Amino acid sequence: MMVRDLAARLPAMLLPRWLRFSSWPVWVEDVVVAIVRALDFPLEGSAWFDLPGPERMSHADFLARVAKSMGKDPRLVGVPVITPTLSSYWIALVTRADLALARELVQGLQSDLDPSGDIFWNEMGDEEPTPFQTSVYQALEDESAAEVPTPKLVARIRGRMRGGV
């Protein structure tokens, strides 16, 4: 929602330094599938797995690609002086996100977010994360639907479960 709002509403974006950092965006549908599939995962004790998306990208590239998917081409201008606090206020002003969420997001994006442990997708073998561009188009389509979760989303998730849960 935040990224969509920024991409849809701004013809130009001042990009603070922290948008140069990278992460592996993961589609929420993939997270749901991973949680459900993990219920049947054979473990003898506690464990944790990283759940990265399929592609590493900078946060600025993430914004630009979502904007392009929406038919927008905002001018992106890097600036070194916007503080995390000011960024949080701007996000809360321009998007539907509240200030507390914006603050937490900005704080969490001030370094590269790379997997550091076992990758869930490698353990599953038969499941891979959704390509970034596909997830963007699906999110935009789902957002415009009258019903949430959408029947298409439910069908996609069921199709990815063993036995069609």
Rounded CA separation 134/79 (Å): 30
- What is the model's pLDDT at position 162? 60
- What is the model's pLDDT at position 124? 82
**Which domain CATH number covers 50?**
3.40.50.720
Torsion of CA 111, 80, 99, 69, to 10 degrees: -80
Is 162 buried (19+), middle (13-18) or exposed (0-12) by CB count in 10 A? Answer: exposed
Strands 22-23 and 57-58: antiparallel
Residues of the chain with pLDDT under 70: 162-165
Bond prior to 149 in cis (omega within 30° of 0):
yes
Task: Give the range of the structural domain holding residue 155, as residue numbers without chain letter.
Answer: 2-164
User: What is the total count of domains within the chain?
Assistant: 1
pTM: 0.85
pLDDT digits (tens, 9 = 90+) for 122-162: 988 788 999 999 999 999 988 888 888 888 888 888 888 76
- Nearest Cα residue to 38 out of 161, 130, 152: 161
Torsion of CA 32, 18, 131, 122, to 10 degrees: -60
- What is the model's pLDDT at position 165? 47
